[in-house]
Structure 1
Amino acid sequence: MMRGIPKLVGLLSAVAVLATGVANAQTKGKLDEVLARGKLIVGTGSTNAPWHFIDQGGKLAGFDVDVAKIVAKALFDDAEKIEFVNQSSDSRIPNLTTNKVDMTCQFMTVTGGRAQQVEFTVPYYREGVGLLLAANGKYKSYADLKAAGSKVAISVLQNVYAEEMVKKALPEAKVDQYDSVDLIYQALNSGRADAAATDQSALRWFMNQNPGRYLDAGYGWNPQTYACAVKRGDQAWLNFVNTALHEAMTGVEFDAYAASFKKWFGVELPPPAIGFPVEFK
């Protein structure tokens, strides 16, 4: 009987080693995988300035691209250790769930339905609709447009919600729908429209590209939150990406985030207040 004890102890030791190895393997997640690989793989688009597009030098550029590079910098202290996967909007979630990308950063609106399929990060931008005015036009502000009532014509990209959307801000305005964004700007430039209703980000980008020609009416509505997304189930990876984005907007990487915001939207962000963290007020 005693002669079998060493064999039993050896067997138990082997089982314990195997169990430890399995446990260690189970605790390793996406963060460990990305660090071991030596680069971050991010899904984004390539056709929507100022978010993600091919610039004149043939390189992928835009605010989404810069936000993703902030995460790469947090991982490797090198923003260029990143690979972008060009994807369509309807591939944003499938490419995460099939592990084709580590994260998606592609002006993705947070919704309850999507949050059941992926984990959203902290928001990095809040989108909304704005009104673009010609600098030499009759109206100079939202108050002017609203006071003019039914005399005002608004150009907007055609969709089933377009008229309802515009009427939320200007109930009496005439709404003219066009097939492309270029046409809504042409209507404004020609005087057929008194203002163009478009995304605030597109409005800021367009003004930034054409200094002195246009005005922001100063009113925004229809808010929606943009966030990056990761695959469900890996809290450590989500926590890391959240930390990187949070510190870009409020801490050590604020200069990089603010420079990108100024470049693409023409807006100078105030630096975070020193002292008590403002996000907890």
Structure 2
Amino acid sequence: MGLGALVMAVGAIDAVQAQTSSKLQEVLQRGKLIVGTGSTNPPWHFRDEKGQLAGFDIDIAKIIAKGLFNDTNKIEFVTQASDARIPNITTGKVDITCQFMTVTAARAQQVAFTLPYYREGVGLLLLKGGSYANYDALKAAGDKVTIAVLQNVYAEEMVHQALPEAKVDQYDSVDLIYQALNSKRADAAATDMSSLRWFMKQNAGRYQDAGYAWNPQTYSCAVKLGDPDWLNFVNIALREAMLGVEFSEYKASFERWFGEAPPEPKIGFPSELR
């Protein structure tokens, strides 16, 4: 055998070995998907009244499991703290992390991010029938308005991106910012849009969205670097949930946790290719 043929043969063997060693094959042979997620942050991941994990992240994981096994129950969830999301992927403790993980360029050096399944942002929650009807009214009021926000080193700067003149009161927990709004010590509460939508759904008719969101963050699942077959499979499962054959399941979950329907995929030319 000539040198060129030998090189080609070795390359072919390496390609076959790469295919058979993919996480995709490992998961299929194991018969279950191992997912890293959280358990304390509704509407993303939390324990329901039966003690079962529930939330949008949990539903996303089930969509992936259905794509693998046509069975949403073939999952083992590993509950983990936020700071374990990347280590548990890189060490192989979990096959995938679905835990409201913000995509950043720095993190993409450590893990491979999937297609995004949600875009987070900050919104303003108002009491229905309160002193200010919407964002424009809050902004026009200048320094007369007080905004309650979760304590953070960037909290005041973040609020002032939307309302430059507003007073900012910081609180130790999300519950306290809602209490400040309810007692009218604050005119609005600045919080994640997902939390705002969830809270409005749980308290129908009591609150309203001010109609303005900012500070976007992309949420994706994450897998180990260097396995294109596994990443490609997960991306297809997510894409077809958001745009194709599994859209009804994604839509039902989105409505359940956020109280609104995502836009229907357009029939005809695939809009994502524009």
Q: Same fold (TM over 0.5)?
A: yes
Change (3 A) 1:20 1:132: closer
Deviations 1:145-168 (A, max 9, x none): 011111100000011100000000
- Describe the SS at the equivalent of 2:114: strand
Contact 2:19 2:229 in 1 (8 A): no
Counterpart for residue 109 of structure 2: 116
- Describe the SS at the equivalent of 2:34: strand
The one-letter code of the counterpart of 1:113 is A
Equivalent-residue separation in structure 1 for 2:35 and 2:271 (angstroms) = 30
Equivalent-residue separation in structure 1 for 2:189 and 2:160 (angstroms) = 13
- Describe the SS at the equivalent of 2:223: strand
Counterpart for residue 54 of structure 1: 47
Equivalent-residue separation in structure 2 for 1:280 and 1:264 (angstroms) = 28
Q: Indicate whether 1:100 and 2:93 are aligned.
A: yes
Q: Indicate whether 1:27 and 2:27 are aligned.
A: no
Counterpart for residue 30 of structure 2: 37
Equivalent-residue separation in structure 2 for 1:197 and 1:206 (angstroms) = 12
The CA RMSD measured in Å over matched residues stands at: 1.5
For structure 2, list consecutive stretches of 5 or more residues without a partner in the other structure: 1-8
Name the larger-Rg structure.
1
Structural mapping, 1:180-219, within 5 Å = 180-219=173-212
Equivalent-residue separation in structure 1 for 2:160 and 2:143 (angstroms) = 11
Structural mapping, 1:210-249, within 5 Å = 210-249=203-242
Q: Percent identity between the aligned chains?
A: 71
The normalised TM-score by structure 1 is 0.92
**Which consecutive segments of 4 or more residues in structure 1 shift more than 2 A?**
17-27
The normalised TM-score by structure 2 is 0.94
For structure 1, list consecutive stretches of 5 or more residues without a partner in the other structure: 1-16
Equivalent-residue separation in structure 2 for 1:56 and 1:225 (angstroms) = 29
Equivalent-residue separation in structure 1 for 2:207 and 2:121 (angstroms) = 18
- The number of equivalent residue pairs is 265
Deviations 1:43-97 (A, max 9, x none): 0000000000000111000000000100000011111111100011000011011
- More displaced 10-residue stretch of structure 1: 136-145 or 41-50: 136-145
Correspondent of 1:252 among 245, 252, 266: 245
The one-letter code of the counterpart of 2:52 is K
